Amino acid sequence: MIKFTKFNLCALILGFSFLYIPIVLLIIFSFNESKLVTVWAGFSTKWYTELFNNQSIKDATWVTIQVAFISSTVATFLGTIAGIVITRFGSFKGRTLFSGMIYAPMVVPEVIIGLSLLLTFVALTIDRGIFTVTLAHITFSMCYVAVVVQSRMSSYDDSITEAALDLGCTPLKTFFVVTLPIIMPAVVSGWLLSFTLSLDDLVIASFTSGPGATTLPMKIYSMVRLGVTPEINAVSTILIGLVSIGVVSAAMINKYQKQKEYVQS
């Protein structure tokens, strides 16, 4: 076994400092009394109070939560099917195009996806608003779900499914009774990932949204353009807190599940 050297320790300390110092500073300055983000003038929660009195932020939050909830749920449904199709359906007509459409949205620049969806909605004369943002978010989120589900599917033992089918279980029932419970952790992480992707998206939402459907990232972006304020730090801190709770609890569920599987086997 190769040792963990001083170089490795330094790389980890420097690397994680680089990743975390900006976030930590952002959080600290959300509790700053002063309006200046760089001068510390004492602890205060007044920016949070101001935030809760800001109607446009509250409206944007509500829009974002609706979009994120609906889009992640539909994306999980479509993405799970897509992940299973890619790993278990062997070859079929148009498979290369299908896998291309699954992997490409993860790397194609967001401005291109946003522009193309907007022009499509205009061509189909669909009014832009919450509905179109939701459609756009489902489309890119389902690809991430498909990849998460696919990586879980490729490590699972197919003989269990075959056993169920041999014993006369219908394919649909086999899916719900055998496959789904096994891949459930991946499906749940896929849902959480879609939810945060939707919560974070600025570029695609800016293109596909219409009047009256300003999402929280769009609102934050327009505030940032006007200047750095502790209020933005406060709303960012709340978002970071929520996402961290989600990610950490998902990791713990996963760990618990693995331990359970280990005990059972």
Question: What residues between 45 and 84 interact with other proteins by CB under 8 A?
Answer: 78-79, 81-82, 84
**Whose Cβ is closer to other proteins: residue 81's or residue 182's?**
81
CB 130 within 8 A of CB 63: yes
Helices (H), the chain: 6-29, 46-52, 55-88, 95-107, 110-123, 130-153, 158-166, 171-174, 180-200, 203-208, 216-226, 230-264
- Closest distance to other proteins from the beta carbon of 54 (Å): 17
Least distance (Å) between residue 52 CB and other proteins = 19
Q: How far is the CB of 45 from other proteins (least distance, A)?
A: 19
Of residues 33, 50, 59, 200, which one binds other proteins by CB under 8 A? 200
**Binding status of residue 262 toward other proteins by CB under 8 A:** no
Among 67, 164, 186, 220, binds other proteins (CB under 8 A): 220
- Binding mask of the shown chain, residues 120 to 159, with x at each position contacting other proteins by CB under 8 A: x-xx-----------xx-xx--x---x---x---x-----
DSSP string, 145-163: HHHHHHHHHTTS-HHHHHH
Q: Does the protein bind other proteins through residue 212 (CB under 8 A)?
A: no
Per DSSP, what are the bridge partners of residue 43? 32
Q: How far apart are CA 236 and CA 246, in angstroms?
A: 15
Q: How far is the CB of 230 from other proteins (least distance, A)?
A: 10
DSSP state of 39: S
Is 194 one of the binding residues for other proteins (CB under 8 A)? no
Q: In angstroms, what is the minimal distance from the CB of 201 to other proteins?
A: 8
Binders in 3-22 for other proteins, by CB under 8 A:
3-5, 7-9, 11-12, 15-16, 18-20, 22
Scanning 54-62, 103-111, 160-168, 176-184 for contacts with other proteins by CB under 8 A, the matching segment is 103-111
- 224 binds other proteins, rule: CB under 8 A: yes
Pick between residue 111 and residue 160 the one whose CB is nearest to other proteins: 111
Check if the beta carbon of residue 57 is closer than 8 Å to that of residue 216: yes
Tokens representing 80?
């799970």
* Nearest CA-CA partner of 60 in 48, 50, 68, 71: 68
Type of residue found at 159: S
Biggest alpha carbon–alpha carbon distance for the chain: 72
